[in-house]
Structure 1
Amino acid sequence: MEKLLALIVVLVILLSFALFYLCNILWLRAVKIRKKLRRQGIRGPKPTFLYGNTKEIKRIRQELKFSQKQGTNNFISTLFPHFLLWRETYEFFMDKIKGMIQLIEDATVPVLEAWEDMIDDLQKAIARQDSFVGLSALWKYLPTKSNQEIQLLDEQVRLLILDVAKEQHHYQDSHNSLLNAIIDGAQDGCSAAEAEDFIVGNCKTIYFGGVTRARRSPPSGA
């Protein structure tokens, strides 16, 4: 009796694992993939649990059956008309983005200009502080309006850089850029605070160097 009970328990456990495995393959894995695609703005027809998109495929074939040209060599439109319809409905086309370029520019340019204004204000505040060369070692610790402005701007710029770095790190596997190289360098045996300082410091250095060089470079027609 005990052996039979133990056997039943083992069978129940194995059956549970088998059901979970089948559920993962047939449903959960597809749900995870759809979530990843939706995050990228790619959507598609919503499937049902048991039938998937079979019913919709049959409906599309039936609707397009009499509208197709006879004698056509396009076998895809004959065998898989649902693919053509779904491609036109859900796929990401660059042609659709052309009309949104102005909208993207209107949303992006003000943000970039705000960042540039903040960094310019920070540079000017630091330059004003550097005018007190002899007292600069002690002056930066005084609670003056200039020092408070520098601290506020420095913290805002730091947070902006770290936000961009975190977002870039999320897509690190698919993008190879200078910022990713800086992020990788910051992870080599550094603490969290040291890594943030490393990223922010390098980004500031690259930006200030690029801006200074751009301002000093003569016009291309000169």
Structure 2
Amino acid sequence: MAAEVILSVVLGGFVIWALYLYEVLVLQPKRLRSKLEKQGIRGPCPSSILLGNIPEMKRIKLETMKKPKATTKTRESKDHPLSIAHDWPSNLFPHLAQWRKEYGPIFTYSTGSIQLLSVTDIEMVKEISMCTSLSLGRPAYMSKDLKPILGQGIISSSGQTWSHQRKIISPEFYIDKVKGMVNLMVDSTTTILRFWESKVESEGGMALFRIDQDLRSLSADIISRSSFGSNYSKGKEIFSKLRTLQKIMSQGNIGIPGLRHLPTKRNREIRRLEKEIHSMILEVAKKRNEATYEKDLLQMILEGAKNYADADSFFSSGISEDQFIVDNCKNIYFAGHETTAITASWCLMLLAAYPEWQARVRAEVLEICKDGIPNADVLRGMKTLTMVIQETLRLYSPATFIVRHTLEDIKLKDILIPKGTTIQIPISMVQQLPELWGPDAADFNPKRFEDGIRGACKFPQAYFPFGVGARICVGQHLALTELKVILSLILSKLSFSLDPAYQHSPAFRLVIEPEHGVSLHVRRV
């Protein structure tokens, strides 16, 4: 009798679990697609219950890789040794380009159990950018599938949790605070500049550098010193492990149910790194609590975690005080240095490929910075450098997508988007649409920003390398200031040309980065 009861309970549990999976994997996505299809929003049908449209995405990518790559020809001269294609989004995400042609600028598809609404329609983008409702949050996969690197920090959280985090972190990146960090940025950049100059001199006036690696170290040093009260040497191991974690996690598919729980070698390595990073960050936080420091970002996170722990919302969110600290530190470590270092690398690559713009920026810097040292007041006058940075961010935005998740039904552009839909805006694809940017949309042309962002495009809302709306990147002032300081100092002392062996291949590793790095020949000015 007891055995029969146990068997009945087991069978009952299995049936309930099977029904739950059927609801999550089949019925819910089908209802979402049906509601959108009734409003004229179509897309490819999922070919797999577990994988959604992932098989088609892989097939389209494979077919694209077999085709000869088109290139955007630069001038044939010694100054332009390479042909560089800037229209990379259609090669890196060919499924989006193909389905956009087939279904229009708004279409739906799925990756695993995630139902996505791809948006490249500028009117819809404008409405999303103006929406301040907490009903548009972050999708759950950011805090689940990407939990080891993002957790529930400011990048991936939603609702009151996100609102509380933003109140803590945002003031630390206001323009007045950033201005106070400029001297620190100069000090850090000067250190690496001396190393580069010394190597150039020791190698007879010209040296080959893998600049992206050095720029990562530089950016990490700046964010460590400006926001965490320590230099890069103290946080070097944390940055190194985060970088390794980033590479591993970028190789997997997001949204496949249960995949992250399987005892695979990849998952075991991810869990090991996550645990080590967690312990290392808490160790830094513990040392901070045991000493007296000026109030910087880390101190504000520690106080914010304590205040959040005392609030009722803390218990309902399920985030421990330690996790609050670790997740937000990881978010700042990752976003605060990785994206800036990559953008600086792309900038120097482009200036090396287009020496006429390199000469123009250098002339401006030398004219404005008479002593060669930039300060907060002169940075605003660097118009040509600003144009180059803006054009670099247009063509090579480190962030790949703007993603929002509908926590409730919401109406945008007369379309009722049902609860549970993940809205996805491909940043670089929109920032290179010829109908918005003109026939030279895929060309490097900083002059388009001569009259600012409003003069560069028919719709200024089509430029959003730092995101849009209420969730725009809190660190954008820091990033732009840091880029100006780094580039102006380097260009005032050194000139760059592309290594003929350089392979131009933007790659997706949670951010858009040069797959093979950036190798440049460096000379003194």
More strand by share: 2
TM-score by length of 1: 0.45
TM-score norm. by structure 2 comes to 0.20
Specify the structure having the higher radius of gyration (Cα): 1
Structure of greater relative contact order (alpha carbons < 8 Å, 6+ residues apart): 2
